[in-house]
Amino acid sequence: MTIDRKGFSRRDFLITSGHLGIGLGLAATGLLGAPAIIMAEGRRPTVEGGVMSGDALTDRAMLWGRASMPSRMLVEVADNPEFRGARQLPWVDVLPSTDLIGKIDATGLQGMNTVHYRVRFAALGDERAVSEPMVGQLRLPPSTPRDLRFVWSGDVVGQGWGIDESRGGMRTWEAMRQVRPDFFIHSGDTVYADGPLQERVALPDGSAWRNIVTPAKQKVAETLNEYRGQHAYNHLDANFRRFAAEVPMLAQWDDHETTNNWYPQEILDNDLYTEKNVALLSARARQAFLEYMPIRLPASAPQRIYRRFSYGPGMEVFMLDMRSYRGPNSANLQDEESSTTAFLGENQFRWLRQALNDSTATWKIIAADMPIGMVVPDGDRFEAIANNDPGQPLGREMELARLLQAIRDDDIRNVVWFTADVHYTAAHHYAPERASFKAFKPFWEFVSGPLHAGTFGPSEMDATFGPEVVFQKAPPEGQSNLPPSAGYQFFGQADLDAESERLTVTLKDSDGNTLHTQVLEPEARSASA
């Protein structure tokens, strides 16, 4: 069925809210009054697509909501689900210039373990016309030792597999919600702006996959509004809305937010696009991504996606951007570093090295939007770091080698990499004794996805950094682009025990079944730490 995303009615909202278990009814507050007046549906805004939180710190978090019309976003926060003693936050106006999205950096949350928030929208010029409320919650990062749990995955609505409500929609979101994580790392490919959907896809068993389809999802995205529509589509799924209302998100992007395998300054050779300038497309895609994700934008770098988050003495998370600063995809065999071999880019490289040195956390979690040793081709070129040459580092591998050597030389301990991208799940251990390049500390990389896309793999492994495939689960040989209904959808879960500081990483499927568990013992802190 085809849905106009602008036509998400108040009745739809009420039905959805009931499914979410959200308590409705307008609370009488001093700011909102008591709008018990029955008025025409069209005069009162609705909350479109649920609420979200993200980029949480010990005393603040980003809160997100979207209205059905120009309006004023009103948010209350409390330390209890009944909203006793709730505090009103400063309001923001939401206008078409931001696709009717409001984002508030909720400060002054120190002392709260779990923050409960309530979002309403008031029509501009009519304070009586107030939306029904929608509630969410988030757990703030600790400043003292505490058990922690996060989940991660990526790759949403790819390869033609959209929301099929008859099959439960995007069920992996619900499986992740059920484990009650403290936060979620979205590893990128948050949308597939280059992957139009069809209403019906025939399956090998004779049945059909039936997508919800919106106008924006019926063609490749080129305009700003089309990119916005890609993100709005995910909010049609009840599983996603439930998850987003309960679990704060740390989001990063990769290629499909813009177009497949893009790099800065690329000129497209693709007949599906009338706009061939990828720099222009990526600028529009970035704006839509930053609008639709609960990301905090610092005044000093209002479009920077790489950033870091502390979770007490046990864990710090470093969110990378492996898309915005890379050189062109190539044969990836250059023997000298230059702008053509960049992957992180020099500014991000220096930031990451300094941030790792500054971190006092036991575990340093590097959230990467692409894998290290897996060979990811782009035709006869290469899309990721590896170049399928098992010898000394060449091309983009040189930048990674420099980073790994710096981690060794700076004695940075307990670094673990997490990613998605390749549409299957795996655990990789890298060690210098197996590698051509040997100047680094052994480390783990965990891969898990997709969230809701076609399943592929497994990838070939490049031996330059000595990877060992400890575990992997991918489609049977000869099968690819399997639908979500085939059962090859994956996420990962990481649990930190505050007392032992042991990190347990578990790879799971969309039903929440455990596929593989890896227990990581922390390397002892240095005497100077």
Model pLDDT for residues 84-96, shown as the tens digit of each residue: 999 999 999 999 9
Instruction: Please compute the mean of the pLDDT values over residues 399-424 and round it to a whole number.
Output: 98
Return the sign of the alpha-carbon dihedral for residues 241, 243, 248, 250.
negative
Domain of 30, in residue numbers: 5-139
Q: What is the pLDDT of residues 224-251, one digit of tens each?
A: 999 999 999 999 999 999 999 999 999 9
pLDDT attached to residue 495 = 98
Does 131 share its domain with 180?
Answer: no
Position 35 pLDDT exceeds 50? no
Position 523 pLDDT exceeds 90? yes
Position 22 pLDDT exceeds 80? no
pLDDT attached to residue 127 = 81
Asked which of 139, 168, 199 is the last residue of a domain, the reply is 139
Domain count, the chain: 2
Asked which of 139, 174, 203 is the last residue of a domain, the reply is 139
Q: Within a domain: residue 249?
A: yes
Cβ proximity of 250 and 317 under 8 Å: yes
pLDDT attached to residue 17 = 41
Rounded Cα gap, residues 67 and 97, in angstroms? 13
Within its chain, how far is the Cα of 218 from the centroid? 23
pLDDT attached to residue 312 = 97
pLDDT attached to residue 32 = 44
- pTM, whole model, 2 decimals? 0.93
Q: Within a domain: residue 526?
A: no
Position 118 pLDDT exceeds 90? yes
Give the Cα-Cα-Cα angle 181, 314, 503 (nearest 5 degrees): 65
Q: What is the CATH number of the domain that holds 337?
A: 3.60.21.70
Q: Within a domain: residue 529?
A: no
Q: Within a domain: residue 153?
A: yes
pLDDT attached to residue 211 = 98
CA dihedral 346, 347, 349, 354 (to 10 degrees): 140
Residue 523 neighbours by CB distance under 10 Å = 15
Q: Write the DSSP assignment of 363-409 as a string of letters.
A: EEEEE-SS-SSB--EETTEESSS--S--SS--TTHHHHHHHHHHHHH
Instruction: Please compute the mean of the pLDDT values over residues 192-203 and round it to a whole number.
Output: 98
pLDDT attached to residue 39 = 55
Does 460 share its domain with 498?
Answer: yes
pLDDT attached to residue 2 = 57
Pick the range with the lowest mean pLDDT from 29-33, 133-137, 389-393, 491-495.
Answer: 29-33
Position 189 pLDDT exceeds 50? yes
Does 227 share its domain with 372?
Answer: yes
Q: What is the pLDDT of residues 458-475, one digit of tens each?
A: 999 999 999 999 999 999
More confident residue, 287 or 18: 287
Alpha helices in 396-474 (DSSP H): 397-409
Pick the range with the lowest mean pLDDT from 8-17, 226-235, 272-281.
Answer: 8-17
User: Of all residues in the chain, what percent carry a pLDDT higher than 70?
Assistant: 91
Does 273 share its domain with 233?
Answer: yes
Position 61 pLDDT exceeds 50? yes
pLDDT attached to residue 18 = 38
pLDDT attached to residue 29 = 37
Does 212 share its domain with 267?
Answer: yes
Does 247 share its domain with 368?
Answer: yes
Q: Within a domain: residue 128?
A: yes
Does 102 share its domain with 178?
Answer: no
Does 398 share its domain with 463?
Answer: yes
Return the sign of the alpha-carbon dihedral for residues 72, 78, 83, 86.
negative
pLDDT attached to residue 374 = 97
DSSP classification of residue 469:
E
Q: Please, what is the average pLDDT of the chain? A: 93
Position 295 pLDDT exceeds 50? yes
Instruction: Please compute the mean of the pLDDT values over residues 99-120 and round it to a whole number.
Output: 97
Q: What is the CATH number of the domain that holds 80?
A: 2.60.40.380
User: Of all residues in the chain, what percent carry a pLDDT higher than 90?
Assistant: 89
Instruction: Please compute the mean of the pLDDT values over residues 187-209 and round it to a whole number.
Output: 97
Instruction: Please compute the mean of the pLDDT values over residues 45-65 and round it to a whole number.
Output: 97
pLDDT attached to residue 524 = 84
Does 115 share its domain with 76?
Answer: yes
Instruction: Please compute the mean of the pLDDT values over residues 138-165 and round it to a whole number.
Output: 98
pLDDT attached to residue 88 = 97
Position 175 pLDDT exceeds 70? yes
Q: Within a domain: residue 527?
A: no
pLDDT attached to residue 41 = 63
Instruction: Return the bridge partners of 183, or none.
Output: 150
Does 424 share its domain with 319?
Answer: yes
Query: Which whole-number Å values give the CA distances from 468 to 123, 373, 413, 434, 508, in the listed order?
Result: 58, 10, 20, 8, 20
Query: Given pLDDT bands bounded at 50, 70 and 90, which one contains residue 200?
Result: very high
Q: Write the DSSP assignment of 219-258 as a string of letters.
A: S---SHHHHHHHHHHHTT-HHHHHHHHHS-EEE---STTT
Position 14 pLDDT exceeds 60? no
Does 95 share its domain with 180?
Answer: no
Does 54 share its domain with 201?
Answer: no
Q: Within a domain: residue 156?
A: yes
Q: Within a domain: residue 231?
A: yes
Query: Given pLDDT bands bounded at 50, 70 and 90, which one contains residue 38?
Result: low
pLDDT attached to residue 361 = 98
Asked which of 139, 156, 187 is the last residue of a domain, the reply is 139
